[in-house]
Amino acid sequence: MKYEITRDYISIGNSRSGQSIQNVQFIVSHDTGNPGSSAYGNRNYFENTNPTASAHTFIDDRYILEIIPLDEKAWHVRYNVSTDNRRYGANANDAAIGVELCYGGNISFQEAYKRYVWYHAYLIDKFNLDPDEDIIGHSMLDPSRRTDPQNAMNRYGVSWNDFLNDVEQAYRKYFEGEESLPEPVVGGASVQLPIGKGDSGEFVRDIQKDLIQAGYSLPAYGADSVFGSETERAVMRFQRDYNLAVDGLVGQQTLGKLKEVTSASKPSTDFPLPGGILQKGDEGPEVKQVQRALKRLNFDPRYIDGIYGSLTEDAVARFQSMFSALDNDGIYGPNTRRFMEMELEDM
């Protein structure tokens, strides 16, 4: 264990119901939104104030502090958002671990971030998750209200893709034995919001990709990681169209609206379906993709665990039975994929 995990659970009450999570399917990454508040400061708040909200774990530069057991539910995402159901076939509170990053004030972001990355890798290993698919930001689930954890990470020049890459590297280094890999570090603390002309790097590239997806093309240079005049003009067009202050700078309001627009514009990608053939006995992230789609289509495979067992085979067969053109054999292949994609597009 690279870092010690401190388990100091709060009492049963509004913040901790004691209800069980049956199957952990993904991780929701948060930040506290309160610069300078420590892990124990947050624990004491939830213990003493007892609001109807919570998260499993708070991480600062000293502690990885679990305040709710990982086999219990925490109240870290609103139930009336739907992106978690579309992507994972379940509500985040019922099927995800909520992890909060503490930042700002006297907290060393470098040390807090390293622990935050490592703990995500630890959860990936503990629950047999996919680091590319099974980590999602709170802002991606509830874009109209939330900007975390990018709110904290972007202040220090860390993009969402940087973070995911660091988690995967930490997983390989600490849990798969690739000891030669370097430890994740903060890329560049000089980059802070707002982002504007002259800035460059991975975070700028993320902004450019979001602009293109939102319909604001960058024909000359594309997503080249350099915030030039073309990107500035696209930002200004976006700001004008969404009644924001037109200054060509990407601050919290523009970034939040951009994430909201791009999240709403890509429902079909919530269920990417794999190619090839999958059948009973197969395992892996491709099986999870099929299971999530089946859940969304109301052919519940019971578990989204990446294991193509009897329950998943039965769910596929029940879906196939709806269409005379499909063999009712419980095997996922190109024809079954085509019909599933058509049904998902109609939802």
pTM comes to: 0.64
Three-class SS state of 268: helix
Give the separation between CA 282 and CA 114, rounded to whole angstroms. 34
Helix or strand holding residue 29 (H, E): strand 26-31
Instruction: Give the architecture (CATH level 2) of 5-175.
Output: 3-Layer(aba) Sandwich (3.40)
Beta strand 26-31 pairing with 135-137: parallel
* CATH H-level superfamily of 202-268: PGBD-like superfamily/PGBD (1.10.101.10)
Bond into 131 cis (ω within 30)? no
C-beta separation of 154 from 186 below 8 A = no
Count the residues in the chain: 347
Q: Domain limits of the chain?
A: 5-175, 202-268, 271-345
Give the separation between CA 174 and CA 177, rounded to whole angstroms. 6
141 phi and psi angles, rounded to 5 deg: -85, -35
Q: Please write the tens of the pLDDT for every residue from 136-150.
A: 999 999 887 888 998
Helix or strand holding residue 136 (H, E): strand 135-137
Q: Express as a percent the part of the chain with pLDDT over 70.
A: 93
What secondary structure letter does DSSP report for 244? -
For the cut 60, the answer to whether the pLDDT of residue 187 exceeds it is: no
Rounded mean pLDDT, 43-55: 89
Band of pLDDT at residue 264, cut at 50, 70 and 90: low
C-beta separation of 30 from 147 below 8 A = no
For the cut 80, the answer to whether the pLDDT of residue 232 exceeds it is: yes
Q: Please write the tens of the pLDDT for every residue from 285-311.
A: 889 889 888 888 888 888 888 899 999
Of 3.40.250.10, 3.50.50.100, 3.40.50.300, 1.10.101.10, the CATH number of 271-345 is 1.10.101.10
Question: 10 Å Cβ neighbour count for 86?
Answer: 20
User: Do the domains 5-175 and 271-345 sit in the same CATH topology, yes or no?
Assistant: no
Q: Which of 42-56, 81-95, 111-125 has the highest mean pLDDT?
A: 111-125
Q: What's residue 266's pLDDT?
A: 46
